[in-house]
Chains A and B, each alone.
Chain A
Amino acid sequence: GAVVSQHPSRVICKSGTSVKIECRSLDFQATTMFWYRQFPKQSLMLMATSNEGSKATYEQGVEKDKFLINHASLTLSTLTVTSAHPEDSSFYICSAEDRELAEQYFGPGTRLTVT
């Protein structure tokens, strides 16, 4: 199957700083990427849908000014957590969609810890 990479896999940052997470589709072009947040032993919470070349669509309750999403190319989407706080600590997962196959391919996730 297709491969989606995510970088970094783990990051620790201080409160008030910003962190950028990259999501790349390595062997296919993804017009749509999704960003999820997952709390321990819980399901995926969709944060936003990112379409290449256009603004991301955020789910209700997700602050777009805090979680900046950029999908500048068909293989790269980035999530920037701005002015991070401890409550932003979580596991962030991206996925890239192959629309023709109606399949999502998930990245390995990024563990963010804000101290």
Chain B
Amino acid sequence: AQSVAQPEDQVNVAEGNPLTVKCTYSVSGNPYLFWYVQYPNRGLQFLLKYITGDNLVKGSYGFEAEFNKSQTSFHLKKPSALVSDSALYFCAVRDFTGGSYIPTFGRGTSLIVHP
């Protein structure tokens, strides 16, 4: 069975500082990894994905994530946080090869960027 762990319920960071939102995963086959952002009372917006290729993936709004196979991690990062980045972030994994293609989401991490 596939799973995703987001170990932090909340991440606090000052505006202008770098931010990291952690995600680790477990799949039997090759992972497809995703990050989404959710603003209050809205659906999820796609940020970025990793399928294959370069381990560093760049996405929307200046976010990036690094796929680390040995640590089974896919942490979301941004060099300089903005107050407008404050939202709920979800990591997700899909396994089209070895397991169910159904996506599995982490529990979400609330990012709060302080002015």
> Are B103 and A34 neighbours in the complex by a CB distance under 8 Å?
yes
> Are A91 and B90 neighbours in the complex by a CB distance under 8 Å?
no
Cβ–Cβ < 8 Å partners of B45 in chain A? 106
> Are A43 and B43 neighbours in the complex by a CB distance under 8 Å?
no
> Are B43 and A108 neighbours in the complex by a CB distance under 8 Å?
yes
Q: How many pairs of A and B residues are in contact by the CB < 8 Å rule?
A: 49
> Cα distance A46–B44 when bound, in Å?
14
Closest to B104 in A: A46
> Cα distance A105–B47 when bound, in Å?
11
> Are B51 and A43 neighbours in the complex by a CB distance under 8 Å?
no
Cβ–Cβ < 8 Å partners of B106 in chain A? 43
Instruction: Give 8 pairs: A residue, B residue, CB < 8 Å, sorted on A.
Output: A1-B46, A6-B43, A34-B103, A43-B106, A103-B34, A105-B46, A109-B42, A111-B41
